[in-house]
Amino acid sequence: MNPQLVHYLVLSAVLFSIGFAGAVTRRNAIVVLIGIELMLNAANLNFIAFWRFGAHPEALTGVMFVLFSIAIAAAEAAVGLALIIAIHRQRHTTQVDQMDSLKG
Amino acid sequence: MSNPRPATIVMLNEIAFYLTAALVLIFAIAAMTLPRLVHCAVCAAGAFASLALIYLELDAEFVAFAQLLVYVGAIAILIVFAILLTNLQEADPQVRRASRSWVVGVAVAAILLAALGLPIITTPLLQRAAPAATAAPVRDIGEKLMTTYVLPLEMIGVLLTSALLGAVVIAMREEPEVKTKVTRPTTPALERQEELTPR
């Protein structure tokens, strides 16, 4: 049988969980950002799968949402990496557990 | 599918799905677990590229190529540049790469996976066949972007411009503070040289 909607949704859920685990556990801020990007990609995969298997694929809603989401992800990655570079310049670290100056 | 397709094509579709899904997951796990940052970045690029293959299987060609261009072409390169700019001295694998409470994080992720996966697998709502293949031609996408979605498109333009400017401003060297920080270690040596040279 052809891959069904369930297959894509399960793949997306597993990908989201992998990205979440990495974003929560890794110490390096850049790897945390990669994990966030993986989670964003899992959400995009959900949009595309629901668009493809939905009742009105000709409306192109899922495709449009993913295109805008990719553009926003690009902006987010640029700003996030600039923040990491700025923090590295100030604090000489990219480990997220050493960025604790707001800790009470 | 409305028209019956040969069994071999259906089987090939299935094999292609499982191959690309395995690629995505292997690259994603590698990107989250490898110790060297550059390996993480390369594996993330691999995961993004194999997701583009999945989009191709789902008949979303334009999204697949946008994914390749933006994620593999731009975001992965940005990540590599950030690694080059920040982690020259921290690149050794001896540095502990996971936080101390990583077990809790993985457990929460597993709970999340169960909470997402169990409803997906058990629900009867998703048991439906795909509608007949409907291509999403670039012409239609362009027309939608220029008519229905023209306001979001303009806002994306504003967002990207401001994000670009913001990234440059944030990452730009702040002259007075950084100069003192950068030159402080070298000043004793310079002073010593200045002391030495006249004599």
pLDDT tens column, B173-187: 766 554 455 544 545
> Distances from the Cα of B83 to the Cαs of A82, A94, B129, in angstroms?
11, 10, 45
A30 closest CB neighbour out of B24, B28, B37: B37
Distance (Å, rounded) from C-alpha A76 to C-alpha A32? 13
Of chain A, the percentage scoring pLDDT greater than 90 comes to 59
- Check residue A63 and give its pLDDT: 92
Instruction: State yes or no: pLDDT of B4 exceeds 70.
Output: no
Per residue in B70-128, pLDDT tens? 999 999 999 999 998 886 655 555 667 777 788 999 999 999 999 999 999 888 877 76
Distance (Å, rounded) from C-alpha A64 to C-alpha A20? 25
Instruction: State yes or no: pLDDT of A57 exceeds 90.
Output: no
Residue of B nearest to A78 (CA): B167
Q: Categorize the per-residue pLDDT at B163 as very low, low, confident or very high, splitting at 50, 70 and 90.
A: very high
- Check residue B13 and give its pLDDT: 85
Instruction: State yes or no: pLDDT of A33 exceeds 70.
Output: yes
Q: Categorize the per-residue pLDDT at B52 as very low, low, confident or very high, splitting at 50, 70 and 90.
A: very high
- Check residue A54 and give its pLDDT: 83
Instruction: Residue count of chain B, please give it.
Output: 199
- Check residue B133 and give its pLDDT: 66
How near does any CA of chain A get to the CA of B190, in Å?
A: 23
Residue B111: count other Cβ atoms within 10 Å of its Cβ. 11
Cβ of B99 within 8 Å of Cβ of A68? The answer is: no
- Those of residues 10-69 in A touching chain B at CB distance below 8 A are 10-11, 13-22, 24-28, 30-31, 33-35, 37-38, 41, 44-45, 48-49, 51-55, 57-58, 60, 63-64, 66-68
Tokens 């169960």 label which residue?
B114
- Check residue B147 and give its pLDDT: 92
- Check residue A4 and give its pLDDT: 84
Residues of B in contact with A16 (CB under 8 A): 112, 116
Question: How would you class B120 by CB atoms within 10 Å of its CB: exposed for 0-12, middle for 13-18, buried for 19 or more?
Answer: middle
What does pTM read for this prediction?
Answer: 0.84
Question: How would you class A93 by CB atoms within 10 Å of its CB: exposed for 0-12, middle for 13-18, buried for 19 or more?
Answer: middle
Q: Categorize the per-residue pLDDT at B1 as very low, low, confident or very high, splitting at 50, 70 and 90.
A: very low
B31 closest CB neighbour out of A5, A34, A58: A34
Which domains, from first to last, does chain B contain? 1-92 (1.20.120.1200)
Q: Which of A13-17, A88-92, B24-28, B189-193 has the lowest mean pLDDT?
A: B189-193
Q: Categorize the per-residue pLDDT at B198 as very low, low, confident or very high, splitting at 50, 70 and 90.
A: low
Q: Categorize the per-residue pLDDT at B199 as very low, low, confident or very high, splitting at 50, 70 and 90.
A: very low
> Which is more confidently placed, A37 or B131?
A37
Q: Output b/e per residue, A50-85; b: 16+ Cβ within 10 A.
A: bbbbeeebeebbbbbbbbbbbbebbbbbbbbbbbbb
Distance of CA A41 to the CA centre of its chain: 5
Quote the mean pLDDT of chain B. 82
- Check residue B94 and give its pLDDT: 61
- Check residue B113 and give its pLDDT: 94
> Distances from the Cα of A10 to the Cαs of B57, B117, B141, B174, in angstroms?
16, 6, 28, 46
- Residue B177 contacts residue A89 (beta carbons within 8 Å): no
User: Measured between CB atoms, does A98 come within 8 Å of chain B?
Assistant: no
Residue closest to B163 by CA, chosen among A81, A94, A84, A46: A81
Residues of B in contact with A21 (CB under 8 A): 32, 105-106, 109
Cβ of A85 within 8 Å of Cβ of B171? The answer is: yes
Cβ of B60 within 8 Å of Cβ of A63? The answer is: yes
How near does any CA of chain B get to the CA of A102, in Å?
A: 18
3-state SS string for B56-111: HHCCCHHHHHHHHHHHHHHHHHHHHHHHHHHCCCCCCCCCCCECCCHHHHHHHHHH
